């Protein structure tokens, strides 16, 4: 039995020097494209492959696969876009030997890509599940066409792998959810993110640790920001949260009426769990607005949008989402969309750090910063290129070493500028989404506050 999948190796291609054009020359890794080089180095990692015993290339030499792949890209003038595709094929524990796993990986790669593309296949032995990594050049060495990565190609890889497993008398997995109605979820999970169904499942599990009846369940779901719709006997329960295009039925994610009734009975007869579920009683965003003297609703006017404040507010809410003690005290954000954004926290933190360190408060400030970084990068790159051009003329070893040192110093200056530019562009791209998340949370908190006032009356 084997599971399969592949994804594009994305990234900005760096300049490829003359070494990469001629696969017969020795190539220094400093001059190679980072994304493709790292993918190939990962598949060839000695610690994972038992001293490279299970590394084999198809349509190119094993030890010079990178140079041949880059030569193909150079020959057809296709250095942009996806530089390669990185696939995997994982086997059930104890079902295959390393030799057998490697043979299956090679045959799978040959049938899938072997007529058109250069490939490296490596069998990794560093986990209980033997698995193959497959790196495929994105450009065909025969036609120069780029691999298109259609949905059907993922089905085809699975079919080829299953067919070879059957030929080897190995078991085959039943059709997976990837080939069903939740195909988009596959890519969300592949990027390490959560879907709104994932967040709903997490919330349901927390709620069901102590809910003993339908009323408990409905109250907790409402408190967490969901709009609950059900029929008279609760055999059909649909939930919708702000920002969702359509409602989700609980039975579609495994919480049928029978499952819920069983969980209620377990809680009724089990030990009492105090404060086992999150009960939102506070309005953290409204409190934060008051503390900062800044209202989200005012930020609709572009003249007063404080982008750094929006990022700060969202990060504070994400901190409450992670903090178990704050959750117990009822300080978790109401909106499920906020909890879904927890996977963005690291990136948002880096972007907020850039805004804070450079006093970037408005969209206009960020645009000016991007222009400044772009101009500085262009000037430094031009200066470095002049040094490299002058170094092509005959010079003494000392002069050449001095020129190279100067070029390296400029490269050191370029790296932080490029990092800042990338973060600024990312912050500019994310900030409308940040505002939408905060707006949805504010509306949910305002409704919750109104309900609490009604109850007190």
Query: Token match 């370029």: residue?
Result: 414
pLDDT at 331: 67
Rounded to whole angstroms, how far apart are CA atoms 198 and 103?
A: 37
Rounded to whole angstroms, how far apart are CA atoms 162 and 3?
A: 9
Rounded to whole angstroms, how far apart are CA atoms 102 and 106?
A: 6
pLDDT at 219: 83
Rounded to whole angstroms, how far apart are CA atoms 249 and 252?
A: 5
Query: For each successive 10 residues of the chain (457 residues), what is the average pLDDT?
Result: 71 30 31 51 48 74 83 85 84 83 92 93 74 88 89 84 88 56 59 75 83 86 83 86 82 86 82 49 81 73 72 87 65 74 84 93 90 92 88 80 89 92 90 85 79 68
In 3D, which of 438, 434, 291 has the Cα closest to residue 366? 434
pLDDT at 327: 62
Q: Say if pTM beats, i.e. exceeds, 0.85.
A: no
Q: Structure tokens of 123?
A: 């069998």
């Amino acid at each position: 039995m084997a599971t399969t999948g592949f994804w594009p190796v994305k990234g900005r291609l760096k300049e490829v020097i003359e070494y990469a054009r001629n696969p017969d020359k020795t190539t220094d890794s400093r001059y190679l494209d980072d994304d493709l080089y790292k993918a190939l180095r990962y598949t060839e990692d000695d610690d994972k492959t038992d001293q490279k015993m299970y590394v084999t290339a198809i349509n190119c030499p094993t030890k010079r696969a990178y140079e041949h792949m880059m030569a193909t890209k150079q020959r057809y003038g296709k250095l942009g876009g996806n530089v390669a595709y990185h696939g995997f094929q994982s086997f059930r524990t104890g079902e295959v030997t390393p030799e057998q796993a490697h043979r299956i990986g090679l045959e799978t790669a040959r049938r899938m890509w072997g007529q058109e593309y250069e490939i490296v296949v490596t069998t990794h032995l560093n986990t209980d599940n033997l698995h193959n990594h497959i790196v495929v050049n994105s450009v065909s060495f025969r036609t120069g066409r780029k691999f298109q990565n259609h949905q059907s190609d993922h089905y085809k890889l699975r079919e080829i792998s299953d067919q070879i497993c059957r030929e080897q008398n190995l078991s085959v997995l039943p059709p997976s959810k990837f080939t069903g109605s939740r195909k988009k979820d596959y890519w969300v999970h592949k990027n390490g993110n959560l879907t709104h169904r994932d967040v709903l499942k997490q919330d349901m599990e927390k709620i069901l640790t102590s809910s003993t009846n339908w009323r408990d369940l409905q109250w907790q779901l409402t408190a967490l920001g969901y709009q609950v719709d059900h029929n008279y006997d609760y055999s059909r329960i649909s939930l919708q949260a702000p920002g969702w295009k359509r409602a989700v039925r609980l039975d579609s994610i495994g919480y049928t009426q029978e499952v819920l009734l069983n969980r209620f009975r377990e809680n009724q007869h089990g030990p009492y769990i105090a404060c086992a579920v999150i009960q939102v009683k506070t309005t953290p965003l409204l409190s934060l607005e008051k503390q900062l003297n800044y209202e989200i609703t005012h930020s609709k006017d572009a003249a007063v949008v404080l982008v750094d404040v929006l990022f700060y507010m969202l990060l504070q809410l994400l901190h409450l989402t992670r903090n178990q003690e704050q959750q117990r005290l009822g300080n978790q954000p109401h909106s499920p969309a906020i909890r879904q954004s927890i996977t963005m926290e690291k990136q948002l933190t880096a972007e907020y750090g850039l805004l804070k360190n450079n006093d970037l408060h408005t969209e206009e400030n960020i645009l000016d910063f991007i222009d400044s970084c772009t101009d500085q990068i262009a000037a430094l790159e031009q200066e470095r290129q002049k040094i490299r051009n002058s170094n092509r003329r005959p010079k003494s070893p000392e002069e050449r070493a001095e020129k190279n040192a100067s070029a390296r110093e400029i490269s050191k200056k370029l790296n932080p500028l490029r990092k800042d530019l990338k973060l600024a562009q990312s912050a500019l791209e994310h900030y409308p989404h940040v505002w939408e998340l905060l707006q949805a949370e504010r509306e949910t908190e305002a409704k919750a506050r109104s309900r609490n006032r009604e109850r007190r009356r």
